[in-house]
Amino acid sequence: MPFKRPLSSHTSDDESISSHDGPSSKRHILPCNIKEEKLLLVYILQAKIHPETMSELAALVENYKSERVNKSHQEPSVVSKLNIELTSHAEKADVIVTGTNMRRRLERHIDWSIAKTKAIVTPLWLRDSVTSDRPLPCGSYVAIHDIEDETSRNYDIVQDTSSSSPFRFSSGPEKETSWQTEPDEPIDATEVKSLSHNAKYSCLRSSPLVCPNQTLVNEIDIIRRGRNVEGEERSMLSYSRAISVIKAYPHVITERNFQDLRELPFLGEKLLSMIEEFLKTDRITDAQKILADPRFQSLSAFITIHGIGPHSARRLYDLGLRTLEELERYYEVRPGVSDEETMSLLDTEVSANTEDAVEKSIKIGLALRHDLSQTIPRDEVEEINRTIMRELGHVQKGCKSVIAGGYRRGKPQSNDVDIVITHADWHIGSQKVKGLCRKLVQRLYEQGFVTHVMHLSGFHKHKALRTHHWDSLEKALTVFVWPHNLSRRRVYRRVDLIFAAPEVFWTAVVGWTGSTMFQRDLRLWAKQKKGMKFDSSGISRRHDSKLYHPSTERDVFKALGLVYVHPTLRNADA
């Protein structure tokens, strides 16, 4: 009997959000012997903030105000330094809180001439200021980088601070947390035109996030997933290739243009007949059979848990396990609670991909699965990046990051956050970055942002001859959570942190931007057509191991003899 003794079930200890319907104009009165801190008027721009977050922020301020008054009556000597009030007029505000970091978007709601006279910050500024009981310097919370200096200056004016004040935060040398996030360029139409939908490699094609034949792609993807869970890799790859070709096909497939598909690569007779069936019935029988198969359902559920691949999933199935609840009992895991100790991974010298580490990561993934299976909206992905880079600023100044993964390919919701980080100084960056991954994770842990490390690996040099599938950069696969805060529900998120020296930063960004098929084809293209080797840790020439050090993402494509493909057109997976 494979099952371990069942544990009594516990429910998750989420805090619930108390919602509030927008700002109130009610003023709270402090005892008259207390010197009132300067009032900061805060305007929250609703347009780019999720309604739930909006209510949460408004409630945060209102609750804080009443608590502040209560506290000041009980203990007049310890009244907080934060005196905030919401306003419903942007022009009257000292601070504007917004979920966007793009000037263009902000300008749709607030006149630019007004924006330039305000301190424009992210929602995190509000949360952190409330948590810290004081108006925090806005430097690392600047929302719109075009007016970073104005934001800092305006904030200083409102705070009426001298240069020695702890609130001062300018872009001068005293700036604590200098970091940037590289923005993406707009799509270049001429480049897109030179890509070709019937090319053999997906890195020569333009693959949008959602294609004109997306429902067909989704149906074929069921078969691909079926092959994946059964470990039929060759067959799975054929379906992945077929999917990637259809993703780039720019026309809606109909019975009239069906014959044109014969000119596309990787669509053999079997695939064509499946497409034909789909055109007639909106379904593919093989896909529907797989979908209805209980074994497929169990294996698919199992592989959603970090650390369980198709092989382990089949092993667990063979033990008689069928559902995630049964897996929970087998691993003796309580839902919503994970007390696995994984920070010791930071102390081990060698990468800890031991059986023990994998088992731990399965237990964490399983216990937190209700949170980890929730997708992450783009504004939260950005907020996580800003928070992490702000924390990194305390460990090492002058770093920069790119949010890679599906986010960069334009996905509105991501399953996890992938952040590639380097030091901005080309000459000394490589030394500065060494060992930084551990230090950052340690700091994030101490600050309460990271609860677990699922995997941590150190740096190895890019080897021209190594045939490994993945890269050898410093990376940490972590579980991130916003620190305890009564007004915000704690949701565990998966965050991957990847550190690269400046010389290989852009290859790392390309690798981690994906999609998986796009990356696979980059490697194949490099090898088959260019006698080169590409992976996230570098580009090299095979015959003499010459290394390339691209200084931009375009240079990566150029080094490989390719036209630049915009990140949002690299969606070669389903």
Residues that bind Ca ion (CB under 5 A): 405-406, 416, 418, 496
Gap between the Cα atoms of 212 and 248, Å rounded: 9
Site for ligand 8DG, residues 305 to 364, rule: CB under 6 A: none
Asked if 539 and 526 touch (Cβ cutoff 8 Å), the reply is: yes
> Which is closer to ligand 8DG, CB of 156 or CB of 416?
416
Look at phi and psi of residue 160 and say left if phi exceeds 0, alpha if psi is from -120 to 50, else beta: left
The reply on whether position 514 binds ligand 8DG by CB under 6 A is yes
The reply on whether position 536 binds ligand 8DG by CB under 6 A is yes
The reply on whether position 512 binds ligand 8DG by CB under 6 A is yes
Amino acid identity at 345: L
Looking only at the bridges linking them, the beta strands covering 547-548 and 493-499 are unpaired
Output the CA torsion 19→21→25→28 (10° steps). Answer: -20
Quickly tell me which residue has 């690269």 as its tokens: 500
For residue 1, count other CB atoms closer than 10 A to its CB: 5
Gap between the Cα atoms of 571 and 515, Å rounded: 6
> Which is closer to ligand 8DG, CB of 152 or CB of 513?
513
Asked if 555 and 506 touch (Cβ cutoff 8 Å), the reply is: yes
Q: Name the residue with the smallest CB distance to Ca ion.
A: 405
> Which is closer to ligand 8DG, CB of 274 or CB of 308?
308
Gap between the Cα atoms of 164 and 131, Å rounded: 23
Q: Mark residues 386-415: x for contact with ligand 8DG by CB under 6 A, - for none.
A: -------------------xx----x--xx
Q: Mark residues 438-477: x for contact with ligand 8DG by CB under 6 A, - for none.
A: --------------------------------xx------
**447: closest CA among 412, 397, 411, 483?**
483
> Which is closer to ligand 8DG, CB of 297 or CB of 415?
415
Residue 233: both structure tokens together: 């890799």
Q: Which does 536 bind (CB under 5 to 8 A by kind): ligand 8DG, Ca ion, none?
A: ligand 8DG
> Which is closer to Ca ion, CB of 123 or CB of 406?
406
Q: How many residues belong to the site for ligand 8DG (CB under 6 A)?
A: 16
Amino acid identity at 188: D
Q: Which does 411 bind (CB under 5 to 8 A by kind): Ca ion, ligand 8DG, none?
A: ligand 8DG
**168: closest CA among 158, 180, 181?**
158
Site for ligand 8DG, residues 227 to 246, rule: CB under 6 A: none
**Which H or E run includes 278?**
helix 269-281
Q: Work out how close the CB of 411 gets to Ca ion at its nearest, in angstroms, rounded to a whole number.
A: 8
Amino acid identity at 397: K
> Which is closer to ligand 8DG, CB of 148 or CB of 496?
496
Amino acid identity at 350: V
Please pick, from the candidates 132, 194, 516, 528, the single residue that binds ligand 8DG as defined by CB under 6 A.
516
8-state DSSP, 493:
E
Please pick, from the candidates 137, 511, 538, 550, the single residue that binds ligand 8DG as defined by CB under 6 A.
511
Please pick, from the candidates 418, 503, 521, 553, the single residue that binds ligand 8DG as defined by CB under 6 A.
418
8-state DSSP, 484:
P
Contacting residues toward ligand 8DG, per CB under 6 A: 405-406, 411, 414-416, 418, 470-471, 511-512, 514-516, 519, 536
